[in-house]
Amino acid sequence: MSPITQASHAFPAEHFLNRELSFLAFNRRVLAQAQDKNSPLLERLRFLCIVSSNMDEFFEIRVAGLKEQIRARASRLTADGKTPQEAFRVVALAAHAIVEEQYRIFNEETLPALAAEGIHFVRRTLWNDATRAWIRGYFDREVMPLLTPLGLDPSHPFPRLLNKSLNFVVELQGKDAFGRGSNAAIVQAPRLLPRVVQLPRELSDAPYSFVFLSSILHEFVGELFAGMSVLGCYQFRVTRNSDLFVDEEEVTNLRTKLQGELPHRHFGDAVRLEVANNCSRAMTDFLLAQVGLREEDLYRVNGPVNLVRLTQTPDWIDRPDLKFPAHAPSLPDSLGKGALLFPRLRQGDVLLHHPYQSFSPVIEFLREAANDPQVAAIKMTVYRTGTDSELMRSLIRAAQNGKEVTVVVELMARFDEEANISWATQLEEAGAHVVYGVVGYKVHAKMLLIVRREEGQLRRYVHLGTGNYHPKTARLYCDFGLMTANEEIGDDIAEVFKQLTGLGRARALKHLWQAPFTLHPNIIAHIRAETEAARAGRKARIIAKMNSLLEPEVIHALYDASRAGARIDLIVRGVCALKPGVPGLSENIRVRSIIGRFLEHHRIFYFYADGAESLYLSSADWMERNFFRRIELAFPVLDARLKKRVIQEGLRPYLADNSQAWEMKSDGEYARKTPGRAKPRAAQESLLKILV
């Protein structure tokens, strides 16, 4: 079985929405959460920070890619028919509008609302003598010793600044100790310092008072330039291209090559310049010239240039009434406290719905396996798992205990490369077999296989998931995990691991759909089966939940199904290139996005199938990269009771949501659903009540 190559069909450009604009529309929906009075105040502050984090990655990867295409004079059009130059122009306009609105909300809504609750971010103009004295002491003790002012002159050219680092450009007048008359200097804020500093309670009438590190540096920057006059001090930040390019077919050791490339990520080509809105025009032009950017790449902001660094501020504030209610994930009824997993799985499959249900059974599953003398082998894929992982420690312990441990580590997991290299090294040192998948394909499938000797024979136990083996994100991301001892599922997983670690042709799998072989053809085939059912006058129904929908052939298959009369609901959290509700094309398709307390992450594919209700969970979105350039899995829920659970928990609440749901119009704009006179329904809130 050979990999399926990407289809080369030329579909009409007017049938697609722009990918980058669709992402920015998603970020506008996140921004709306920062204004939602139904969300607790400190959570609204977090949503503002999430918007900044999303924008950072958007510029580091997507805008950087557009700029590379423009630089290379690429002629390839986007799916919606735009040249790279046209796409960049519309994206820049939309991005500027989002940033402007974000800071308006921050200054006009968030900060006043926080102040009303006794949470103050104190401006320099409001410091009293006692406050200023304390801050001066903090500056002398904690800040000044770490600062390295860089004067700009022929001997000291403009420095190569770290990606997204906080910097200050200082306008100066006068001469220094050597008689030099440079009129500018750069001061980089130390990365170890917090960007927000909490003031002692006795210095303020408010319960919580904070100052920005930028305010402290502004106030005392003159201390760095004795005998010279500071005419101006302006914070700024440069965002750089952070995508790594490694030609896997041209390197003999991918891990060594990546280790050499990672330091360069911080110094890629500049793609965005953020400056304080009080920065002088002359200094702004100077900075643009130094980093090689133009006016359209400039973002003037009224506030801190990096709101991401405010993310942890709510954790320092003991106000439960201003945060989401604490949530303790539950365990399924079938997994009582202290229950041994291997005997339980021999009785039947177990479904876990995170974050409503705990991730601890997965951790315990691997911990049991590592220590169980009957376990002979463990195989696992690792995409994102974090720098501190009990799962990885269990794998290391299993290898030390003499078990055959094989770990497929995806070194090209964006922004997790360094952590994955570290774990790969530790696993190898413990005696585990570590492989890096298949050249040219990212291993994105989430699977764990445990082989145990029972009654004289070997038995396989499996965990499959829609999300990463990452306990921290399992408390924040909505995902399903399936634990099973089904022999045929175990055979399929063993076959996939054999593909990843060895050589030879891929064999047909009994139950799993696998990219890049059968996932795309099976999705298309199931959509077409619903299309034929609709044409024949039978009931036809498709419901699909995912993060992104972009692949052109799948989109056009959905259009065909809609024209035939099939009823289609798509729950797409983020980017969606399909246009719903277009007469004669997609009037039977509805697209909605759910934005709430948790990040919607599970992928669920439902086809009515003449009443058989074919249901698959997956690690894959409906994108070209997932279908053709990744190792992905879609796995069926074979247990009728668990299949019903997935429909009742993973689909129906989202289709009924009239409070956190946004419905897409045919032009790509979204309108938030409101309950009106109906009973308010929010999928995540209802699941929190059900799965306790």
CATH number of 341-508, picked from 3.30.70.1520, 3.60.20.10, 3.30.870.10, 3.40.50.300:
3.30.870.10
* pLDDT at residue 259, as a whole number: 46
3-state secondary structure of 319: coil
* pLDDT at residue 362, as a whole number: 95
Give the number of other Cβ atoms within 10 Å of residue 289's Cβ: 11
| 338: confidence class by pLDDT, cuts 50, 70, 90 | low
At the topology level, CATH places domain 514-690 in: Endonuclease; Chain A (3.30.870)
| 593: confidence class by pLDDT, cuts 50, 70, 90 | very high
Mean pLDDT value of segment 309-327? 94
Residue of 506, 433, 492, 432 lying closest to 616 (CA atoms): 492
| 341-508 and 514-690 agree in CATH topology | yes
Residue of 593, 531, 603 lying closest to 562 (CA atoms): 531
- Cβ-Cβ contacts under 8 Å for 284 (sequence gap 6 or more): 275, 298, 300
From the number of C-beta atoms within 10 Å of its C-beta (0-12, 13-18, 19+), residue 192 rates as exposed
Distance CA 236, CA 56 (A): 14
Average pLDDT, the chain: 90
| 159: confidence class by pLDDT, cuts 50, 70, 90 | confident
Residue of 158, 157, 221, 211 lying closest to 189 (CA atoms): 221
Query: Which one from 15, 120, 353, 444 is the annotated catalytic residue?
Result: 444
- Ranking 134-143, 408-417, 536-545, 547-556 by mean pLDDT, the lowest is 408-417
* pLDDT at residue 504, as a whole number: 73
Q: Is pLDDT at 250 greater than 80 in this prediction?
A: no
Q: Is pLDDT at 506 greater than 90 in this prediction?
A: no
Place of tokens 């952070």: 242
Q: Is pLDDT at 256 greater than 60 in this prediction?
A: no
DSSP, res 676:
T
120 is catalytic: no
Choose between 277 and 183: higher pLDDT.
277
Q: Is pLDDT at 9 greater than 80 in this prediction?
A: no
Rama region for 199: left / alpha / beta (φ>0; ψ in -120 to 50; rest): beta
Q: Is pLDDT at 193 greater than 50 in this prediction?
A: yes
| 264: confidence class by pLDDT, cuts 50, 70, 90 | very low
Q: Is pLDDT at 424 greater than 90 in this prediction?
A: no
The domain spans of the chain are 13-322, 341-508, 514-690
- Ranking 32-46, 91-105, 168-182 by mean pLDDT, the lowest is 168-182
Q: Is pLDDT at 84 greater than 90 in this prediction?
A: yes
3-state secondary structure of 290: helix
| 24-54 tens-digit pLDDT | 999 999 999 999 999 999 999 999 999 999 9
Phi, psi of 547 (to 5 degrees): -90, -40
* pLDDT at residue 401, as a whole number: 95
| 247: confidence class by pLDDT, cuts 50, 70, 90 | very low
Choose between 266 and 419: higher pLDDT.
419
What are the structure tokens assigned to 621, written together?
A: 């979105």
What are the structure tokens assigned to 452, written together?
A: 């145990």
Contact predicate 198/210, CB 8 Å: yes
Task: State the amino acid at position 641 in one-letter form.
Answer: R
Percent of the chain with pLDDT over 90: 73
Percent of the chain with pLDDT over 70: 92
Mean pLDDT value of segment 315-338? 88
Mean pLDDT value of segment 167-189? 80
Place of tokens 């063993």: 494
Angle, CA 251 vertex, CA 248 and CA 255 arms, to 5°: 80
What are the structure tokens assigned to 323, written together?
A: 């945060």
The kind and range of the H/E element at 107 are none
Residue of 88, 90, 95, 89 lying closest to 31 (CA atoms): 95
- Cβ-Cβ contacts under 8 Å for 498 (sequence gap 6 or more): 504
| 248: confidence class by pLDDT, cuts 50, 70, 90 | very low
Choose between 11 and 555: higher pLDDT.
555
Residue of 141, 143, 129 lying closest to 193 (CA atoms): 143
Contact predicate 114/40, CB 8 Å: no
Q: Is pLDDT at 251 greater than 60 in this prediction?
A: no
pTM flag (> 0.85) = yes
Q: Please tell me whether the peptide bond between 329 and the residue prior to it is cis, using omega within 30 degrees of 0.
A: no
At the topology level, CATH places domain 13-322 in: polyphosphate kinase like (3.30.1840)
Q: Is pLDDT at 219 greater than 90 in this prediction?
A: yes
Q: Is pLDDT at 249 greater than 50 in this prediction?
A: no
Q: Is pLDDT at 266 greater than 50 in this prediction?
A: no
The DSSP bridge pattern shows strands 603-607 and 614-618 to be antiparallel
